């Protein structure tokens, strides 16, 4: 069997969509008091060849554990802005050294806007230091 080497080109992608959480984030007092639904989508860039070769969860990102960490991050420690929340979530994703980049979308579907709209969403992409 050949040696598994880091990817030279683009990383593989692991996507988790629709992580539903109840948080108390927002600039208005009623948002902090009542809370609201936030939905998080993640796309992680990582090299999955070692995990594919070993078929062992220890060789990849445990996305079940990651989802629970993200959910806890959204459901505790309220902040004013979804920008702050998205950064917090990206930091959690990048704690695993195998993750080279994290694309995080935070949806705030019931944002207090006095108009009809489908969704408010912020997407950020953060890369591990040293990644192109």
Task: Provide mean pLDDT across the span 45-52.
Answer: 96
d(CA 59, CA 6): 13
The strand pairing partners of 103, in sequence order, are 43, 125
Is 103 known to be catalytic? no
Catalytic residue among 71, 103, 108, 127: 108
The tally of CA atoms less than 13 A away on the side-chain side of residue 30 is 3
pLDDT exceeds cutoff 70 at 6: no
Maximum alpha-carbon separation in the chain:
61
Q: What is the mean pLDDT of the chain?
A: 93
Which architecture characterizes domain 12-127 according to CATH?
2-Layer Sandwich (3.30)
The whole-number pLDDT of residue 10 equals 76
Per the confidence metrics, is the pTM higher than 0.85? yes
**25 phi and psi angles, rounded to 5 deg:** -95, 150
DSSP percent split of the chain into helix, strand, coil, nearest 5: 30, 30, 40
Q: Where are the domains of the chain?
A: 12-127
The whole-number pLDDT of residue 4 equals 47
pLDDT exceeds cutoff 70 at 130: no
């Amino acid at each position: 069997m050949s040696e598994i080497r880091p990817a030279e080109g683009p990383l593989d992608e692991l996507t988790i969509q629709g992580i539903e959480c109840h948080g108390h984030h927002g600039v208005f007092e009623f948002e902090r008091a009542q809370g609201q639904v936030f939905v998080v989508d993640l796309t992680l860039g990582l090299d999955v060849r070692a995990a594919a070769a070993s078929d062992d969860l220890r060789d990849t990102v445990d996305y079940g554990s990651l989802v629970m960490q993200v959910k806890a991050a959204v459901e505790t420690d309220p902040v004013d802005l979804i920008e702050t929340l998205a950064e917090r979530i990206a930091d959690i994703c990048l704690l695993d050294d195998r993750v080279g980049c994290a694309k995080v979308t935070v949806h705030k579907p019931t944002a207090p806007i006095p108009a009809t709209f489908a969704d408010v969403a912020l997407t950020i992409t953060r890369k591990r230091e040293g990644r192109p």
